[in-house]
Chain A
Amino acid sequence: MNNILEVKNLNKVFEIKKFLKKSLSLKALSDVNFTLGQNVTLGIVGESGCGKSTLAKVLTQLEIETSGEIELLGKKYKDYKPREFHSLIQMVFQDPYQSLNPRKKAFDIIADPLRINTDKSEEEIRELVYSMMKKVGLRAEFAQRYPHHFSGGQRQRLGIARALMLRPRVLILDEPVSALDVSIQAQVLNLLLDLQKEFSLSYIFISHDLSVIQHISDKILVMYLGRIVEYGPRDEIFLNPKHPYTKILLESAPTLTVGKQTKEIPESAKGEIPSALYLPKGCAFSPRCPMVTPECLQAIPELLNKDNRLVACFNA
């Protein structure tokens, strides 16, 4: 069995209650399907509000899906006991400043998952904490420091160390390097690549930085307003994108090519992303799509196999 994670028809709807008014339903995730193999990094990109963090939270069960099914190592989520579940899948957050308890010392931050989820002795825990600190590049004397004494990059290492203590198979990383300086980003990305090899980890890596995504991922999943619009191997997506949204996204990304301006964004694609509260009837991208045809306004395009990837577009 080579799928670590299997996501089937996942939907997440938020009910937004308005005072004295009818509540509104916000479809944050619609019919999301994908699999994650061992040792594989799945990069997730898409505009703000397209549901990336919601997906991350549902996968770690910080939010519960409205419908659909997720299997981890061939076993349904709902058949797991919490302890076992948390030892297999862990999350690293964007903001190393906010995701760590400021009143706890580094040692305890890293040790707590073991104390809560295992029956290991303090002696064993001590050993495991120090060896993990070494692994993620934190010096032993840092163990007694509080998070505010760490730099951004060190805090992110702390977050990664904590997430790895239970030896998970999957790490969900939601914008893990976005808050870091470029020079520090490279250190953390290198660490993640190292750890992936050493522990055979599978990553779900969310980032709005396409150069980071391209570097770290094996497969790419592009989302738009809660739906997957394109999903496939990294090079197919980056070198030969098929969905009009993916194309515009890649063309907008700043590159280091001096002088050579990126392509002009088609006039229709300018402007803002519609709200997930009021989705268009047909393809969610249709209001901005330069290739829109009447059919796009009628029905939602299915995610279909085409040129070595899945793409949801009538005209791809």
Chain B
Amino acid sequence: MLLEVENLNIHFKSDRSKNPIHAVRDLSFSVKQGEMLGVVGESGSGKSITNLALMGLLPDSSLVTAKKAEFNGHNLLSLKDKQWQKIRGREVAMIFQDPMTALNPFLSVQFQMVETIKAHMDISKKDAIDKSIELLSLVGIPSPKDRLKAYPFELSGGMAQRVMIAMAISTNPKLLIADEPTTALDVTIQKQILDLIKMLQERQNMAVVLVTHDLGVVSQYSERLQVMYAGEVVESGPTKDLISHPEHPYTHALLGSRPGALVDNLRRVPKTILPSIPGIVPSFNERPIGCQFSPRCEFVTPECQRSPIPIFESEPAHREYRCIHPIEHVVIK
């Protein structure tokens, strides 16, 4: 395993109450070398802060604990700032939703790329420039030599994201964390960027964690899928199985509420009422004792509300779900 996380918990100190916010609870997952893990889930469910925790980038107001958080032989929880600098950007790199805010607007692409490359590799400026040109052409930027001289504001959103990817992969990282990398982009550009990430994953045998709110995106690109709800993983497994046979009622409802008859296996008649999930995600101070999804779940029973729901595993299929009435069984009943 390249990355192994067991029982990750993230708390934030809160201004409003004595009790810290329990933002991520008992999150366990792993990523193999060269595979793509897709992460989807409700806004605020903890996708981004999990990634930031793995990069050692959460603010001081946070408390991160875990039974295990191991990446490429490093124990992520005991790293000092100095050690982080060696790993971050080198063995694990991250790209974000808004490439424009991640680039320094006052510095040319060349300056930023050369700095990044030289910070991690002992090479001359000239070699760093050559390498930058090579990377820019790898990520599909036309006339890379000229583009190198450009400033971020001269780039379109798609181009800026390509530059970010070029910088992220400049050190051949083992893991690329892509947090909503295409949410701000048009669909035709989105497809090009995702195809590019997929190509790099396969070519460099690089693992990828792809966070998105679009089930369509993960269904096409990731081998495995993890679904988050209110700070917990509610379901994970091979993408194909999970999408064709969701076990958790939240995944089931999420798939069901997707509009569009473009979706082959879920035919929707246009202009008809969509199956929707009533209600909203509970706020931190009204989190249920039992299943986090229970207030919105159509299969809820008193048992669901009594105590936290553990993770169940179905071994041969490598499926995991946090539900005592998984769908397949409900259907049989």
- The answer to whether A253 and B280 have CB atoms under 8 Å apart is no
Q: Are B188 and A183 in contact (CB under 8 A)?
A: no
Mask, B140-173, CB within 8 Å of A = 1, is 1010000000000000111100000000000000
- Which of these binds chain A: B52-60, B111-119, B254-262? B254-262
Known contacts A48-B186, A256-B263, A257-B220; is-contact A186 B156 (Cβ 8 Å): no
Known pairs A186-B259, A211-B263, A255-B219 / 9 extra A-B pairs, C-beta < 8 Å: A151-B280, A182-B213, A186-B277, A194-B273, A212-B260, A215-B268, A252-B187, A257-B263, A272-B158
Contacts of A234 in B (CB 8 A): 270
Cα–Cα, bound, A253→B276 (Å):
22
Residue B123, interface by CB 8 Å: no
Q: Report Cα–Cα, A75/B276, bound state, in Å.
A: 40
Say which residue of B257, B264, B278 sits within 8 Å of A182 (CB atoms). B257
Chain A 174-189 interface 0/1 with B at a Cβ cutoff of 8 Å (1 = within)? 0000000111111101
- Which positions in A face B, CB cutoff 8 Å? 41, 47-48, 151-154, 181-187, 189-190, 193-194, 208, 210-212, 214-218, 234, 238, 248-250, 252-262, 264-265, 269-273
Whether a CB of chain A sits under 8 angstroms from the CB of B265 is yes
The answer to whether B192 and A270 have CB atoms under 8 Å apart is yes
CB-nearest residue of chain A to B218: A254
Q: Is the interface of B mostly helix, strand, loop or mixed?
A: loop
Which of B43, B159, B214 lies in contact with A272, CB distance below 8 A?
Answer: B159
* Alpha-carbon separation in the docked complex, A185 to B186 (Å): 19
- A47-B186, A47-B188, A257-B220 are known contacts. Are A190 and B276 too (CB-CB below 8 A)? yes
- Interchain CA distance A248-B190 in the complex, whole Å: 12
Minimum distance in angstroms from A18 CB to a CB of chain B: 15
Complex: chain B residue closest to A270, CB-CB: B192
Q: Could you tell me if B259 and A189 are in contact, using CB atoms closer than 8 angstroms?
A: yes
Q: Is the CB of A183 within 8 A of B261?
A: no
- Nearest-Cβ distance from residue A208 to partner chain B, whole angstroms: 7
Q: Is B274 an interface residue (CB 8 A)?
A: yes
B276 touches A258 (CB 8 A): no
Shortest Cβ distance from residue A282 to the other chain B in the assembled complex, whole angstroms:
20
A181 touches B42 (CB 8 A): yes
Residues of A with C-beta under 8 A to B263: 211, 255-257
Max chain B CB contacts within 10 Å: which of A252, A261, A264? A252
**A208 with B187: CB separation less than 8 A:** yes
Given A211-B216, A258-B239, A265-B188: A183 touches B42 (CB 8 Å cut-off): yes
Please pick, from B157, B219, B262, the residue contacting A210 in the complex, using a CB distance under 8 A.
Answer: B262
On chain B, the residues within 8 Å of A270 by CB distance are: 140, 192
Q: List the 10 closest A-B pairs by CB distance, nearest first.
A: A211-B260, A254-B216, A215-B259, A186-B276, A186-B257, A252-B191, A183-B277, A186-B274, A47-B186, A252-B188
